[in-house]
Amino acid sequence: MYRASHQHRLGGAVAVLIALLAVAAALAAGHLVAALTEPLASPYLAVGNTAIDLTPQPVKELAIDLFGTADKLALLVGMGVVIAALAAVGGLVSRRNPLPGMTMITGFGLLGMAATVSRSSLAPLALTAPVTAALVGMGAFAWLHRTAAASARGNDRASSHPRREAEQEDAEQHETATRGTAGGRRRFLISGVVVALASGSAGTVGQLLSGRRRVSRSRQAIGALEPDIAAAPVPAGADFADSGTPSFITPNKSFYRIDTALRVPRVPASEWGLRVHGMVDRELNLTFDDLMDRRQLQKPITMVCVSNPVGGSYISTAEFIGVPLRDILAESGVRDGAEQVLSTSVDNFTAGTPIDALTDPNRDALLAVGMNGEPLPTEHGFPVRMVTPGLYGYVSATKWVTDLEVTTWDTRTYWEKRGWAERAPVKTQSRIDRPKGFEKTPAGRITVAGIAWAPHTGIERVEVRVDQGSWQEAELSASVNTDTWRMWRIELDLSPGGHNVESRATDRSGYTQTAKRVPTVPDGATGWHSVFFTAE
Ligand SMILES: Nc1nc2c(c(=O)[nH]1)N[C@H]1C(S)=C(S)[C@@H](COP(=O)(O)O)O[C@H]1N2
Ligand SMILES: [Mo]
7 has a pLDDT exceeding 60: no
Domains of the chain with bracketed CATH: 12-214 (no CATH), 241-418 (3.90.420.10), 429-535 (2.60.40.650)
Predicted confidence (pLDDT) per residue in 132-182, tens digit: 999 999 999 999 999 998 887 766 554 544 444 444 444 444 444 444 467
Rg (CA), the chain: 32
Q: What is the rounded average pLDDT for all residues in the chain?
A: 90
Element spanning 366, H or E: strand 366-371
Q: What is the DSSP string of 494-524?
A: E-SEEEEEEEEEEETTSPBPP---B-STTT-
Q: What is the pLDDT of residue 294?
A: 97
Q: What is the pLDDT of residue 162?
A: 43
6 has a pLDDT exceeding 70: no
Predicted confidence (pLDDT) per residue in 83-100, tens digit: 999 999 999 999 999 999
447 has a pLDDT exceeding 60: yes
CA 345 to ligand 1: nearest atom: 1
Predicted confidence (pLDDT) per residue in 343-387, tens digit: 999 989 999 999 999 999 999 999 999 999 999 999 999 999 999
Q: What is the pLDDT of residue 439?
A: 95
Is residue 260 lining ligand 1, measured as CB closer than 6 Å?
Answer: yes
Q: Which of 256, 258, 376 to mutate to test the pocket of ligand 1 (most atoms within 8 A of CB)?
A: 258
Model confidence at 74, in pLDDT bands (50, 70, 90)?
Answer: confident
Neighbours of ion ligand 2 (CB under 5 A): 258, 305, 393-394
Range name among 242-246, 258-262, 266-270, 356-360 with the lowest pLDDT average: 258-262
> What are φ and ψ of residue 148, in 5° steps?
-70, -40
CA 316 to ligand 1: nearest atom: 21
User: Region 197-225: what's the mean pLDDT?
Assistant: 93
Find out whether 47 and 23 touch, Cβ atoms under 8 Å.
no
Instruction: Find, among 183, 135, 151, the residue nearest to 22 by Cα.
Output: 135
196 has a pLDDT exceeding 60: yes
| Rounded Cα distance, 351 and 412, in Å | 8
**Other Cβ atoms closer than 10 A to 470:** 7
Distance (angstroms) between ligand 1 centre and the Cα of 486 equals 22
Side-chain-facing half-sphere of 408: CA atoms under 13 Å: 3
Distance (angstroms) between ligand 2 centre and the Cα of 386 equals 13
The residue among 472 and 123 whose pLDDT is bigger is: 472
Find out whether 295 and 227 touch, Cβ atoms under 8 Å.
no
Is residue 489 lining ligand 1, measured as CB closer than 6 Å?
Answer: no
| Rounded Cα distance, 361 and 408, in Å | 21
Model confidence at 474, in pLDDT bands (50, 70, 90)?
Answer: very high
69 has a pLDDT exceeding 80: no
In what side-by-side order are the strands of the sheet with 475-476?
Answer: 429-434, 444-453, 486-494, 475-476
Q: What is the pLDDT of residue 440?
A: 96
| Rounded Cα distance, 28 and 204, in Å | 8
Is residue 393 lining ligand 1, measured as CB closer than 6 Å?
Answer: yes
Is residue 252 lining ligand 1, measured as CB closer than 6 Å?
Answer: no
Which residues are within 8 A (CB) of 410 and not within 5 positions of it... i.e. 6 or more apart? none
Q: What is the pLDDT of residue 160?
A: 47
Predicted confidence (pLDDT) per residue in 267-312, tens digit: 999 989 999 999 999 999 999 999 999 999 999 999 999 999 999 9
Q: What is the pLDDT of residue 449?
A: 98
In what side-by-side order are the strands of the sheet with 273-278?
Answer: 284-287, 273-278, 401-407, 340-345, 350-354
Q: What is the pLDDT of residue 1?
A: 43
Distance (angstroms) between ligand 2 centre and the Cα of 394 equals 5
335 has a pLDDT exceeding 90: yes
Predicted confidence (pLDDT) per residue in 35-48, tens digit: 998 888 888 888 88
Indicate if the alpha-carbon torsion angle 370, 373, 379, 382 is positive or negative. positive
Predicted confidence (pLDDT) per residue in 380-396, tens digit: 999 999 999 999 999 99
Tell me which residue has its CA closest to atom 18 in ligand 1: 257
27 has a pLDDT exceeding 90: yes
Distance (angstroms) between ligand 1 centre and the Cα of 352 equals 13
Q: What is the DSSP string of 452-498?
A: EE-TTT-EEEEEEEETT---EEPEEPPP--TTS-EEEEEEEEE-SEE
Find the ligand nearest to 388 CA: 1
